[in-house]
Structure 1
Amino acid sequence: MDLDEALLEELHGIATVTQGPRSTAIARALDPSLARDPRGLAEAAEETAASGALLPAALCWSRLILLHHRAGDLRRRGEALRRLKHLQVRSGLDFPPYIAGALALGELTAREQEIVDLAAQGLSNAAVAEKLFVSQRTVEGHLYRVFTKLGIADRSELRDLQF
């Protein structure tokens, strides 16, 4: 699922010869030297999205997701996944396979989504368990995995998710 380094280098070269704030943001987003720089990738994603270049911003978020995934940093991976998902919802774009592959790392199972929907409505773990005919411990386990996948810390953040 890695983006070909030669392609990234070529796109960066093309973007650096154009002028203007948007071109500068795109060139930064495509900079191959950001491959191992989480802070730089996040800054480039924000800068590029602010310039209106949403696909290069999505590319930065995808690169960041995969960087955190490889490092085993699930919390930060989840935060980047949320940002990419928000960008997708905001833009309405169908992302190319590389970006869609990064998004897939945060997809919820049908059961996880069902539990998230109920918990986001304000139901307690016990009430969710009763409604779904599972144990409270099962609900807790699913929510733990959801929190890890999506990089959230507590239940109140479930209401803010955009699926």
Structure 2
Amino acid sequence: MESRTVSESRVIKTGLVLPPDTNQHGTIFGGKVMALIDEVGAISAMRHAQKLVVTASIDSVHFINPAKLGDILTLESFVTWTGKTSMEVFVRVTSENPKTQVKKLTTTSFLTFVAIDENGKPSSVPQIIPETEEEKWLFETAVARRERRHQSKKEFESFLEL
């Protein structure tokens, strides 16, 4: 299977923060941001795998700055690491005040997706080729994140046995 570059999986989605998206503080609902993150992350994973995918985990979501009513919201996602059938995807969300053009980092997230075949079974994915310094750093630090995911899953499975 031929390897693919990170840039081949890159997705950028832009939209406005509208009244139905906001809470009583005039900022976007966290759940709305999470749904958008899952959507763009899945598209990146599908572009990389060239197959359908399922979300295996949302490993982290860090809300850094709020996006406000009327802000321009931009989500950027790309595959950072691949296993045999799984892919780690990084999503960065920024908000921009359209009047001042001030941009802020709003949210970051790591998700894991698994490629599936026509029978719904896990399917192999191409390896990823990082190119930029950021991509290389995310690739190099992915194994530690993967180990934390596996440890967290083991802890949760122990809880289920109670």
Q: Return the TM-score normalized by structure 1.
A: 0.27
Specify which structure has the higher proportion of helix.
1
Q: Which has the larger radius of gyration?
A: 1
Structure with a larger share of its residues in strand:
2
TM-score, normalising length: structure 2? 0.27
